[in-house]
Amino acid sequence: MEEFKFIQSITPKYYRQPSIVKGIGDDAAIIRHQQVDTIMTMDTMVESVHFSEKTTTPYHIGYRALAANISDIAAMGGTATAYLVSIVIPERWTDDQIQEIYRGMMALAQTFHMDLIGGDTVSGTALTLSITVIGAVQKDKARYRSQAKKGDVVFVTGTLGDSACGLHILLQEKDSEHYQYFVDRHQQPMPRIAFVEACQGIKRMALNDVSDGIANEANEIAAASKLLLEIDYNKIPMQDKLNDFSEQQRINWALSGGEDFELIGTISEEEWDILEKAAKHTNTPVTKIGTVKDRTSKNGTAWIYHDNQYKRLEKSGYTHLKG
């Protein structure tokens, strides 16, 4: 499809958010926020790095790419309002497949009441989706990685390792009907926006979303807060069906598999009750998995208790550039 026609085909007929003063159709979009802080985030998904023909249909490529970005808005404690999509389209991709990618994004955008307000279209060699999401959070209510305090509880939402297990099943072409749950968790992650919205009454909370695996994200909170995060391996929430796989696979997936798009955070014991209520209210499983400590020489790192010993939880998740 010709570029102008393509842009026309993905232009929304109306905008859901009143803050959008100008959407698609000019040199750039305009958003007007007055009483709230604006959140901006961008993540990119590339064919054969983040998805392949074996693992993801065009619809799910769009869905997942937008979900990964909305997850970062949730990790800041906000709500997502609008998004911009830069797409690199190789020649062999058909018009229908590209429309399917947009259908996947539009389905999720509808769930979160978001608007597509711009982007860019170019031809190239690997299908690439680079998405910018704009969000909003009550003034001074953003949840930073640096907000952990000594004595805090470390918690995670949902279960960990599901997405990596789903990826394994898709790549190995295992009986995916029996394991459809894991495949769905890989293809259609649900960002925890409802939960963070329900947490608005909480005074202080550190948050990070699980894109690379908690072995990374726990270290990121420890580093930003200049404290030590101690995690008990036996408390990490995992699906029962994960027991069908080896202990080594389970550990790898839960700690370093990534792409679960759950949240890992820290909160004071005093505010835990409010968090539990928010979790119940939004049907979000939450599990205490550790504690924040102040150990001068080890601050900035995460540790894990497993098989009766404490070990450094090395950053072991997915990294794109190897030093």
Ligand X SMILES: Nc1ncnc2c1ncn2[C@@H]1O[C@H](COP(=O)(O)OP(=O)(O)OP(=O)(O)O)[C@@H](O)[C@H]1O
212 binds ligand X (CB under 6 A): yes
**Cα(283)–Cα(232) distance, integer angstroms:** 24
By CB under 5 A, name the one of 47, 72, 115, 152 that touches Mg ion. Answer: 72
Q: Is 115 annotated as a binding residue?
A: no
What is the total count of residues that contact ligand X (CB under 6 A)? 4
**Given the structure tokens 């959008």, which residue do they identify?**
20
By CB under 6 A, name the one of 72, 162, 230, 262 that touches ligand X. Answer: 72
Burial of 312 (0-12, 13-18, 19+ CB in 10 A): exposed
179 binds ligand TPS (CB under 6 A): no
Q: Which is nearer to ligand TPS, 43 or 152 (CB)?
A: 43
- Nearest in space to 83 (alpha carbons), one of 3, 1, 24, 21: 24
In order, the DSSP letters of 6-26 are HHHHH--SS-S-TTEEE-BTB
Q: Is 145 annotated as a binding residue?
A: yes
**Cα(55)–Cα(66) distance, integer angstroms:** 17
Binding-residue pattern over the window 254 to 273 for ligand TPS, x denoting contact by CB under 6 A: ----xx--------------
Site for ligand TPS in 198-257 (CB under 6 A): 211-212
Largest CA distance in the chain: 62
Q: Is 265 annotated as a binding residue?
A: no
**Cα(87)–Cα(274) distance, integer angstroms:** 41
Q: Which of Mg ion, ligand X, ligand TPS, none does residue 152 bind (CB under 5 to 8 Å by kind)?
A: none
Burial of 124 (0-12, 13-18, 19+ CB in 10 A): exposed
50 binds ligand TPS (CB under 6 A): yes
Residues tagged in the binding site annotation? 27, 41, 43, 50, 72, 102, 119-120, 145, 209, 211-212, 259, 318
- Residues near ligand TPS (CB under 6 A) are 43, 49-52, 55, 167, 211-212, 258-259, 318
